Structure 1
């Protein structure tokens, strides 16, 4: 199978971590010289995109992984216990959507990181443009900083809180990793794969956060390498059948951050707004871009919860006592993205998380 992706991409890294662990062979190609061709088959050119040998195309890392799990059941990353599975998917969603802002901030707000990554991306995503390399680098820096930092709520007033998101994520993970090699067992789960999005290609490789991780949180750096090498070291699936108590700090952080963003974004989307405000752990974010895709994320979480039996739903509620989690089982906040109503994902036409998505 062919993966259209970028070597420093958040979600490409997530998918690669999964494919490596499962032993699924793939070839990587950069997509941007073939944008028209890819858009015809996959919708948005938002990496990773998978082109299959049978001619079908898949987009969006989460449904891609769920589809591949059905085709490659060995070494499953999905916990068999329904409650553990729900918590694992919740952690994956947090890794996908909340930590994105912190990851992009470190990459594009710090000079050394910005200079390094603009060189890499200029060589991987803009070579089809007949412009000097220094011009292409300047274009990359301006676009990425404008779209994913300035327009995504990172200001002098939110700067410290954005960076605290990185620290709090590692603190919550460390609580779990002190007791086992992976977040929810002796082998990687979808929770580990989801957290590899930010932790591998951004926090673990970009100069500024990678130095912080190595020096102050070496156990997280070790975990990143462990997941990346799990195809060599981990055996058949060995995941917990109950959610451990040591997950509580991370689940509290998810409630106070990711669930607040999902709620305020969905409220704004239901009122056809283009921007919204949110107060997260006492930090006020203003002029945030509304994301249709993140409404879809909330829909998915609600659907996963609704599919649980009554006893399992009670167990989930007991594990998630924070008021913010009511959003998942109380539909008073409308969540109707209108995306993938045919339930065709990952074979549908994808949309952007931000921009016109």
Structure 2
């Protein structure tokens, strides 16, 4: 039996970028297999029941789908040199960056990919899935058809002409601004060693926002320290140091964390409420749909509507479990930090109907 893992994904896949960076930094031997249409038909769908990448095959032949599940599983299998902090503040902040990067930074990642001048680059990338060995003009023609289906998902995320200016202002003048300032003085989010939050940031920031031509120019121009951080995250030659001592959270992260609670958290609270209502109205339905209607959201003071995604509740449960699992002394430390971030009340959110993942499907626990 090989001791290597196999990562099925694509270079332009957001979450593949997250999983790849984790495996590289964890020093896990792995082969990467491009997820062509044949790979989807013969491996991914038969082994997982879904059509999502990345998928990680373990040396024992188990197929893991969803990057949070992949990282959790590898951390248990290879517990030495953990990338999930054990101290209360750094652990919670790492989980906050996990849900924020995975779910909220998806907005600029999708906007810049599909609404900026990234063509024919993107058409070629998607064309490789169906016809990896065909001439470029054929790949481009097929890739455009596939890409248009993905582009149709953009408005579902609340990306519309009315919200686009606010999305760009938030991403360029807030997200990139503060991350660039942070990475000027810190190698990673929490010091000289990457954490769960770093890997989650790699998804949108690398696979979409740096690799795609249009957004790549933006990042290189206004956030060179973010580019250097991405290069570190993708390198197997970097020796890691330690996280900051005394469970310290850098001041440079505070504005980002404060905006998570002021702007993203209301969407999460609404999601929990809507999922509860949906469950009451559909008590006998086993598998929860990917979306269950629409709700309001606000970004940069501009209001819009976006799909309600029950998966967000599953991710939120990880954050709340981290907070609620803390002992009394740790919770008092966390509460002091959360008051400064405007998030203490947010953390008191009670989820009545928990969501679980069973056979890669969302169900009520």
TM-score by length of 1: 0.87
Q: What is the distance in 2 between the residues matched to 1:335 and 1:42?
A: 29
Over 3 Å counting, the alpha-carbon distance change for 1:325 and 1:40 in structure 2 is: farther
Structure 2 residues without counterparts, runs of 5 or longer:
279-291
Q: Which has the higher contact order (CA 8 A, sep 6+)?
A: 1
In the other structure, the counterpart of 1:3 is: 7
Report if aligned partners of 1:91, 1:195 keep a CA contact under 8 Å in 2. Answer: yes
Q: What is the distance in 2 between the residues matched to 1:153 and 1:128?
A: 36
The equivalent position to 1:100 in structure 2, one of 103, 106, 124, is: 106
In the other structure, the counterpart of 2:220 is: 214
Over 3 Å counting, the alpha-carbon distance change for 1:205 and 1:14 in structure 2 is: same
State which drifts further: 240-249 or 298-307. 240-249
Q: What is the distance in 1 between the residues matched to 2:343 and 2:157?
A: 22
Q: What is the distance in 2 between the residues matched to 1:101 and 1:108?
A: 11
The equivalent position to 1:49 in structure 2, one of 51, 55, 72, is: 55
In the other structure, the counterpart of 1:284 is: 303
State which drifts further: 101-110 or 265-274. 265-274
In the other structure, the counterpart of 1:344 is: none
**Is 2:122 the partner of 1:122?**
no
Report if aligned partners of 1:153, 1:285 keep a CA contact under 8 Å in 2. Answer: yes
**Which SS does the other structure have where 1:252 is aligned?**
helix
State which drifts further: 171-180 or 275-284. 171-180
In the other structure, the counterpart of 1:310 is: 328
Report if aligned partners of 2:176, 2:226 keep a CA contact under 8 Å in 1. Answer: yes
Residue correspondence of structure 1 range 30-69 to structure 2 within 5 A = 30-31=34-35, 32-36=37-41, 37-69=43-75
Q: What is the distance in 1 between the residues matched to 2:244 and 2:146?
A: 41
In the other structure, the counterpart of 1:349 is: 359
Over 3 Å counting, the alpha-carbon distance change for 1:328 and 1:42 in structure 2 is: farther
CA apart distance, 1:5:
0.5
Over 3 Å counting, the alpha-carbon distance change for 1:279 and 1:64 in structure 2 is: same
Over 3 Å counting, the alpha-carbon distance change for 1:299 and 1:336 in structure 2 is: farther
CA apart distance, 1:107:
0.5
**Which SS does the other structure have where 1:277 is aligned?**
strand
**Which SS does the other structure have where 1:76 is aligned?**
coil
State which drifts further: 86-95 or 252-261. 252-261
CA apart distance, 1:135:
4.3
State which drifts further: 294-303 or 316-325. 316-325
CA apart distance, 1:186:
0.9
The equivalent position to 2:166 in structure 1, one of 154, 157, 161, is: 161
CA apart distance, 1:47:
0.9
Over 3 Å counting, the alpha-carbon distance change for 1:213 and 1:335 in structure 2 is: farther
In the other structure, the counterpart of 1:223 is: 229
**Is 2:46 the partner of 1:29?**
no
Over 3 Å counting, the alpha-carbon distance change for 1:207 and 1:269 in structure 2 is: same
CA apart distance, 1:24:
0.9
**Is 2:319 the partner of 1:301?**
yes
Q: CA RMSD in A?
A: 2.4
Aligned residues: 338
Q: What is the distance in 1 between the residues matched to 2:80 and 2:355?
A: 34
In the other structure, the counterpart of 1:245 is: 251
TM-score by length of 2: 0.85
